[in-house]
Amino acid sequence: MLHLVMGMAETGDALCVSGNHEDKLVRALKGRKVQARHGLAETLEQLDAEPEGFRSGARAFCDSLLSHYMLDEGRLVVAHAGLKEEYHGRASGRVRSFALYGETTGETDEFGLPVRYPWAREYRGSAAVVYGHVPTPEPEWINNTICLDTGCVFGGRLTALRYPERELTAVPAQRTHYEPERPFPAAAHGAGAPTDGGAALVGVGDVLPDGTVGHVDTGSGRVTVPRDNALSALEAMSRFAVDPRWLLYLPPTMAPAPTSADPAVLERPDEAFSFYLDQGVGRVVCQEKHMGSRAIAVVCRDSAAADRRFVPGGEGAVFTRTGRAFFPDARVEAEVLAQLRAGITAAGLWERFGSDWIALDGEMLPWSAKAAGLIREEYASVGAAARAALPEAQRALAAAAERGLDVGGLADRTGRRGRDIEAFSAVYRNHVAPTEGAAGLHYAAFAVLAAEGREFSGEDHSWHMDVARTLAEHCPMVAATRYRTLDTADPDAVSAASAWWHELVSAGGEGMVVKPAQGPRAAGTRGPVQPGLKVRGPEYLRIVYGPDYLIPERLATLRDRSVRRKARMALKEHKLGLEALSRHAAAEPLWRVHQPVFGVLALESESVDPRL
């Protein structure tokens, strides 16, 4: 082995770092007292059979080896036993000791061997650290570090990492060269894929900034996250969110279209089309807006997929836009996941994406399935109170009019209030339907977020809608979403899309969402653009702004609303969501994925008009 390694290093075909065995060998060759254990006696015996020139050359070679290398402009660190971030590029006795011997807890295990301190689980550096020293049956990425020692000397495998591709390759040992003092587990077949298995911990320091303002660097620029917002998110995430290993993404809020130029309505499609045209976006998708509850569904093919990539013992998760479990009853969630899993299988999507898990974005219908309490307490109670009070008021006004009192104006306003209340009640009633467990639920999927090693934000919306349509054809639970694509510079196409919007809202629908046809990563002449603008119907907006918001004087006041702050927040959250998907697809550590996910929830605590 020394002949091979020394020759490769001399010809420039390899770089070599020192390890604990090399360090011990040098001390032995220098005549110092060492314990000839762990194969050292055999090595010394073999060296005794070599010429003196080779022995002195081997001693000089091993004595000259560095403790660690920093390669690829600091993006890769190679050390025998690993290296903490604060030691990278430094030289001292402490650094060399860590690089060669690692760190222990001071305890010993039942075999009398030192217990290794799990430094990799606390590692937060940007440089990938590749190391060995401690035999492991299956290499795995933990917080951007990987141990390649797969116990070849103990009859395991010799594993290599191809960088920067991060591909692993391995060959089995021909025999057991040395019996380990600690039993070495039998290695699984294959070299293994990068996972985040053992590093399923996210610390407070990973998401809370040290100062008053923190930031997350994304592919579209830096997004600031104020500490106060992060503190609000910390409580919500810690107390109510699902296991963070499921949280590969949280969806952004959505801004409404700019206020309509038509004084009779607050929102209409024309302003959304003009907005994107002004941004340099020529083609858009008009997508039916479902009145449901946003739901992210991570569906695993089986429990083995969940064990490997997410949470042992699970088979998927359905969570809300704030990271909470969508269904309080785990049995309902399991039933929903089973139906989605069957649909994905029937549609051939596992094979299409080459993955044993798929993450979807969509709306869970009906609205009442999640918002029954809200409907009952905030909307139905208003309608019931008004229907109890207004008829009495009308009768009293009629009696007053019979006595000759001038109450005509008040009677007219009261009558209108009654009609407005009926219209208001009709809106929420349109989105109430009975459900029992998973029966009666429908999932309107409109985007494929990710699969193993991939995220699909680079695909256009037609591609996403085609996948959703295919799934709907094979899964009764999945509802198809109607949509159409148009050129914002074509007056006829714009007119037809506006007419379609009128059809949707006249039939009791919420409205539609206008999105860049290019997809979630669309950019205009000024950079990234809004991922979507919602255009809600005038009747639907009664449950947002009140039953009587269409009274001209009230509508005139509402037209002064400013959507800019909401739009800025939506774009920031969108950037964070895309960054989370990118990091997850790259198998980055959980804490790295969780930073942008946490940022989305933190920004949701911004003071923004909730009606927008």
Task: Say which DSSP state 326 is in.
Answer: S
List the single range of 170-184, 451-465, 477-491, 567-581 with lowest mean pLDDT: 170-184
146 and 78 together in one domain: yes
Q: Per-residue pLDDT tens for 90-116?
A: 999 999 999 999 998 888 877 777 888
Residue 396 has pLDDT above 70, yes or no: yes
Instruction: State residue 177's pLDDT score.
Output: 77
Are 223 and 215 in contact by the 8 Å Cβ rule? The answer is: yes
Tell me: the pLDDT tens digits for 496-525?
Answer: 999 999 999 999 999 999 999 999 999 999
Residue 23 within any structural domain of the chain: yes
The Cα–Cα gap between 347 and 76 comes to: 41
The answer to whether 584 touches 248, Cβ cutoff 8 Å, is yes
Give the mean pLDDT of the chain. Answer: 91
The answer to whether residue 336 is domain-embedded is: no
Please check whether residue 184 lies inside any domain of the structure. no
Q: At 487, which helix (H) or strand (E)?
A: strand 483-487
Give 17 or 607, the one with higher predicted confidence.
Answer: 17
Burial of 416 (0-12, 13-18, 19+ CB in 10 A): middle
Q: How confident is the model at residue 43 (pLDDT cuts 50, 70, 90)?
A: confident
Q: Select from 172, 190, 221 the last residue of a domain.
A: 172
229 and 267 together in one domain: no
Percent of the chain with pLDDT over 90: 73
- Note whether residue 354 is domain-resident: no
Angle at CA 275, nearest 5°, toward 271 and 279?
Answer: 170
32 and 88 co-located in one domain: yes
As for how many domains the chain has, the answer is 4
What CATH number is given to the structural domain containing 550?
Answer: 3.30.1490.70
pLDDT number for residue 200: 56
Judge if 42 and 106 occupy the same domain: yes
Same domain, 39 and 151: yes
Q: Lowest-confidence range among 29-38, 313-322, 398-407? A: 29-38
- Whether 69 shows a pLDDT value over 50: the answer reads yes
Would residue 141 count as lying in a domain?
yes
Instruction: Yes or no: say if 451 and 316 are a contact pair by the CB < 8 Å rule.
Output: no
User: Is the same domain home to 85 and 120?
Assistant: yes
Q: b/e string for 202-235 if b means 16 or more Cβ within 10 A?
A: beeeebbbeeeebebebebeebebbeebbebbbe
**Mean local confidence (pLDDT), 76-99:** 95
The answer, yes or no, to whether residue 197 has pLDDT greater than 60, is: no
Are 99 and 53 in a shared domain?
Answer: yes
pLDDT band at 610 (very low <50, low <70, confident <90, very high): confident
609 lies in some domain? yes
What pLDDT sits at residue 42? 79
**Alpha-carbon distance 468 to 290, whole Å?**
14
Based on the number of CB atoms within 10 Å of its own CB, is 408 exposed (0-12), middle (13-18) or buried (19 or more)? exposed
pLDDT of 432 reads 93
Of the residues 149, 172, 195, the one at which a domain ends: 172
Q: How far is Cα 520 from Cα 459, in angstroms, rounded to an integer?
A: 8
Range name among 114-128, 176-190, 321-335, 577-591 with the lowest pLDDT average: 176-190
- Say what the pLDDT of residue 188 is: 38
* Model pTM above 0.85: no
Domain membership of residue 39 (yes or no) is yes
pLDDT at residue 49, as a whole number: 80
Residue 125 to residues 82, 88, 205, 592, Cα–Cα distance (Å): 12, 10, 13, 10
CATH code assigned at 75 = 3.60.21.10
What pLDDT is stored for residue 27 in this prediction?
Answer: 86
Q: Are residues 154 and 21 in the same domain?
A: yes
111 with 57, same domain? Answer: yes
What are the tens digits of pLDDT across the range 537-558?
A: 999 999 999 999 999 999 999 9
Same domain, 109 and 131: yes
Q: Does residue 39 share a domain with residue 7?
A: yes
Of 570, 593, 550, 578, nearest in space to 260 by CA? 550
pLDDT score recorded for residue 36: 72
Please identify, among 429, 444, 473, the residue that sits at the C-terminal boundary of a domain: 429
Range of the domain at 381: 368-429
- The alpha-carbon radius of gyration of the chain (Å, integer) is 32
- Among the listed residues 432, 381, 425, the one whose alpha carbon sits nearest the alpha carbon of residue 547: 425
Is 262 exposed, middle or buried, given 0-12, 13-18 or 19+ CB atoms closer than 10 A? exposed
Report the distance separating Cα 140 and Cα 143, nearest Å: 10
Which tens digit of pLDDT belongs to each residue from 345-382? 999 999 999 999 999 999 999 999 999 999 999 999 99
| Range of weakest confidence among 27-31, 135-139, 310-314, 348-352 | 27-31
Per the domain annotation, does 309 fall within a domain?
no
Taken in order 175, 179, 180, 186, the sign of the CA dihedral is positive
Are 142 and 267 members of one domain?
no
